[in-house]
Amino acid sequence: MDIVYIRDLRIETIIGIYDWEREVKQTVSLDLEMAHDIRKAARTDDIQYALNYKSIAKRLIAFIEQAEFLLVERMAEEVADIVTKEFSVPWLKLRVSKPGALRGSLDVGIIIERGERP
């Protein structure tokens, strides 16, 4: 299985359950690993056969910046849904973290996998 990835995509959004979190945007960080057969893109050197990570990043940034979430779990499910459905990704592993959310820790968050490994 080939993997196309995006690491540490930082996006500002409203996220959290506490009153102060509902008033100020916080940074979330996304790491995505997405299954995609790269052989045809490699053979042809043609972007139309590649998984366009720039398009995925732009779509996720636009979505997350305008959305509001209480839980990172909801954000993760919605991001996974966008990537799998809109970009025809059969499998992904997604890490969503909130840097600085827990004193004494670099970040906290969740990791999910969705879809079938090809």
CA atoms within 13 A on the CB side of 89: 27
Backbone φ and ψ of 63, nearest 5°:
-65, -50
Mean pLDDT for all residues in the chain: 95
The fold of the 3-115 domain, in CATH, is GTP Cyclohydrolase I, domain 2 (3.30.1130)
pLDDT tens digits along 28-39: 999 999 999 999
Report the predicted TM-score, pTM, of the whole model to 2 decimal places. Answer: 0.93
Beta-sheet pairing, 3-15 with 68-69? parallel
Active site residue 58: no
Catalytic residue among 40, 54, 85, 98, which?
98
In tens digits, what is the pLDDT along the chain, a chain of 118 residues? 899 999 999 999 999 998 988 999 999 999 999 999 999 999 999 999 999 999 999 999 999 999 999 999 999 999 999 999 999 999 999 999 998 777 888 889 999 999 987 7
- Interior angle at CA 74, CA 36 and CA 88, nearest 5: 20
Domain residues of the chain, as ranges? 3-115
